Chains A and B, each alone.
Chain A
Amino acid sequence: MGTVALRMLFGDPGKYLGLVFGIAFATLLMAQQAGLFIGIIGRTVSQIVDVREADMWVMDPRVKYSDVNEPMTDTQLYRVRSVEGVAWALPFLRNMGTVRSPDGILEQILLIGVDDATLAGVPPKFVLGDLDALRAPDAIAIDKSGFMRLWPDAPLDLGREVEINDRRVRVAAIVDASAPFATSPVIFARYSLALNLAAQRRSQLSYVIARAAAGHDAAEVAARIAAETGLQATTSAGFARMTVLYFLRNTGIPINFGITIALGFIVGAAIVGQTFFLFVVENLKQFGALKAIGVGNLAILRMVLLQAGVAAVTGYSLGIGMAAAFFHFVPRANDALRGLVLPWEVAAGVAAAVLAIIAVASFASVRRVLVVDPAIVFRG
C-alpha cells in the first residue's frame, strides 16, 4: 500500500507542497539560527583556540572570561614556570586599542602580544609574510579581515603603516586569524612591542600560556599551578568552556537565538501539523473505504507514517540544503562573517526537531484515521 500512500500524497500537490515548504522553512530557520548562534558563541573563544601551542591558561583569579583580564606581574610567569609538570610558560597580552590608517580610518582593534623569543600564540596560517617578520622593529601582523577593513579597496600587501595608540607600526605579515567576537581587526605583535602599544606599564601581562610536560596531564598540572601560585589555571578547553558559559549566562544571545529557534519549531509544527491534519481529514473517506475493503489498521498506520516521513525528508532536505547554501556563500561574500559554518551537530539536531514536528503532526492525524469507522463509507 506504500505506492498508494505516496500517490495519495503527491496527488494533492497543494497540501504536499504546503507540508514540504512548512518543514523546509522550519528547518532553514532552526538550522540557520542555531548555526549562527554556535558560530557567534564560538567567536568568544577565537583567541583561545588560535593559541595552538598552549594547553593551559593561567590568569588572575578574578577573571571570568577571556575578553576581560586582570593584569598580572611578570613574577607570576616565573612562578608558573617553577611548577612541576610545566614544560614551558610564556607571557600573553590581550588588550583593546585603536588603530588609525594613513587614510584616517579609525578602528578599534584587539591587540595580542606574544612572547618575543618564541612568538607562540600567533595563528599558524599566514596569508602574506611569515612569523619571523614579526621580529623586526615595530613589526605587526594583522588578520586578513582587519586589513580589508583598514584598506577596503587595496590589494593585500605588506609594508603599510598604521598608528596604534598614536605609535606608528608597520604591517609585516597578514594572518588568517579566527574572527573575534566583535569582528575588530586583530593585531599581533611581540610582547615587548605590544606593551608599548597598549601603553601599559612594564610587567603587566594578561595571561600566562603554558604547556604541560610530556607524560603530565594538563588538567592536573593546571590544578597544581592554581594550588601553588594562588592564580586561576585551567586547560585551554576549560578556559573556552568558562568563557562560553559566561556569555551564555550574562548576555541576551542565547535568549534571542533561542526565541527564534523556538519560533521556527513552533511555527513549523503549527503549519505542518495543521496541513497534515487537513490532508488526512480530507482523505478520511478514502481511508475508510480502504479499511472497509480490508486494509488493516497497521497498514493504514504505515501509509500515514510513510506520507509524513516522505514530506519530512523532502522538506528537511530542502531546508537544510538552503541553510548549507547560506553558510557556504554568505561568509565568503562577507569576510566579517568568516568562519560561520553549519556544524553536523546542528543538522542532526534540526533533523531530530523535524522528526518531533512530524511526530506531533502525525499523532493527531493517525489517531483520526485509526478510529475512523469504516462504516463511514455507507453514509452517503
Chain B
Amino acid sequence: MTLAVRCRNVVKSFDSEAGPLRVLHGVDIDVPWGEMTMLVGPSGCGKTTLLSIVSGILSFDSGAVEVDGHDVARMSDSARVAFRRANLGFIFQQYNLLPALTAAENAAVPLVAAGIDLETAAKKAMPLLERLGMGEHARKLPRQLSGGQQQRVAIARALVHEPKLVVCDEPTAALDATGGRNAMELLRAASVRADRATIVVTHDHRIFDFADRIVRMEDGRIAAVEDKAPEIVP
C-alpha cells in the first residue's frame, strides 16, 4: 500500500549572510493514510519548512518527496499547482480568509479555483459548513466572525474539494484553549478518513491527544516518532 507522504533524505538550505543555512538535514518521514500526523518541535527546527516542501510550495535541495505516490520534484510548476489544487487542503495559522468574501464563499474558494463559479461553489460548500456548525453564519464576512468561527471556515475551505492530504500550520495558535480543542475536534472529525491523511504542524501540546502519530523534530532532523492507536473515522 502506498503512503500518503513519503520523504527520504530531504535536505533543504536557505541563503543567509553567513552563507547557506541548512534547515533540513536528510529528513525521512512516512505519513500513512487514515491518520493525523503531528509535526512538533521547537521553533526553527524545520517543521514549517518540511510542511511547505510536502505541500509542493517550496523546493528542496536533494532527497525525494512523494505525495500519493507522485514525485513532487519532478512535476512542472503548472503541474504542481494543479496537483495542489486537486489533492491538497490547507489550514493556515492566520486563517487567511479573503475579507471581501462571505464565509460560504471563502469555504468555496478551492472549488472556484477549479473552475466552478462562485455562487454555485458557495452552495456546494454549504453542507460542509453546516456540518461544522457554521450554517447560520454562512453569509457573514470574516470580520463578523470570531477566531474560532473563522478557523471553522478555514477547515471547510481545506476540505470542500475532498483533498487527499490536509496540511495544517499551527491551526490552534490563534485560539484559546477551549477554542483550540473545539477546532481540533472538528478538524479530526471532518478530515480523518481512510483515504485521507492529515499533517498538523503545532507547538500546542494541548492538542497532541488528537494525533495518531507524533513526529518530533529537532535541528532539522527527525528526533522521534511516537505511534499511537489509530483512530480512523470512516
Residues of A bordering B, CB below 8 Å: 1, 3-4, 7-8, 10-12, 285-286, 288-296, 299, 373-375, 377-380
Task: Report chain B residues within 8 Å CB of A380.
Answer: 93-94, 170, 173
Residues of chain B from 95 to 111 with CB closer than 8 A to chain A in the complex: 96, 98-101, 105, 109-110
Known A295-B113, A380-B170; contact A289-B100, beta-carbon cutoff 8 A: no
Task: Report chain B residues within 8 Å CB of A291.
Answer: 57, 81
Known A1-B113, A292-B84, A294-B88; contact A378-B48, beta-carbon cutoff 8 A: yes
Q: Is the CB of A375 within 8 A of B112?
A: no
Smallest beta-carbon distance A261→chain B, Å:
36
Smallest beta-carbon distance A120→chain B, Å:
67
20 contacts between A and B (CB under 8 A): A1-B112, A4-B101, A4-B109, A7-B101, A7-B105, A12-B100, A285-B96, A289-B98, A290-B113, A292-B55, A292-B84, A293-B110, A294-B82, A294-B83, A294-B85, A294-B114, A295-B113, A375-B52, A377-B169, A378-B169
The answer to whether B207 has its CB under 8 Å from any CB of chain A is no
Tell me the complex Cα distance, A12–B110, Å: 22
Q: Is the CB of B101 within 8 A of A377?
A: no
Given contact pairs A295-B81, A377-B92, a sample of 12 additional A-B residue pairs in the complex whose CB atoms are under 8 Å apart: A1-B112, A3-B117, A4-B98, A4-B101, A4-B118, A11-B101, A286-B98, A292-B90, A295-B85, A377-B94, A378-B48, A380-B173
Tell me the complex Cα distance, A12–B143, Å: 13
Q: Is the CB of A299 within 8 A of B84?
A: no
The answer to whether B86 has its CB under 8 Å from any CB of chain A is yes
Choice from B81, B82, B92, B173 contacting A289 with Cβ under 8 Å: B92
Residue of A10, A288, A291, A296 with most chain B CB atoms under a 10 A cut-off: A296
Tell me the complex Cα distance, A7–B113, Å: 15
The answer to whether B58 has its CB under 8 Å from any CB of chain A is yes
Nearest-neighbor residue (CB-CB) of A286 within chain B: B98
Residues of B bordering A, CB below 8 Å: 48, 51-52, 55, 57-58, 78, 81-86, 88, 90, 92-94, 96, 98-101, 105, 109-110, 112-114, 117-118, 157, 169-170, 173
Task: Report chain A residues within 8 Å CB of B58.
Answer: 373, 375
Task: Report chain B residues within 8 Å CB of A4.
Answer: 98, 101, 105, 109, 112, 118
Task: Report chain A residues within 8 Å CB of B85.
Answer: 293-295
Residue of B84, B100, B169 with most chain A CB atoms under a 10 A cut-off: B100
Q: Is the CB of B90 within 8 A of A293?
A: yes
Smallest beta-carbon distance B145→chain A, Å:
15
Smallest beta-carbon distance A283→chain B, Å:
9
Known A292-B84, A378-B92; contact A8-B98, beta-carbon cutoff 8 A: yes
Known A289-B90, A293-B109; contact A11-B55, beta-carbon cutoff 8 A: no
Smallest beta-carbon distance B82→chain A, Å:
7
Choice from B81, B98, B99, B169 contacting A294 with Cβ under 8 Å: B81
Nearest-neighbor residue (CB-CB) of B84 within chain A: A294
Choice from A8, A12, A296, A374 contacting B57 with Cβ under 8 Å: A374
Q: Is the CB of B51 within 8 A of A378?
A: yes
Tell me the complex Cα distance, A299–B114, Å: 11
Tell me the complex Cα distance, A10–B93, Å: 26
Known A292-B90, A380-B94; contact A11-B100, beta-carbon cutoff 8 A: yes
Tell me the complex Cα distance, A202–B88, Å: 97
Choice from A290, A373, A375, A378 contacting B109 with Cβ under 8 Å: A290
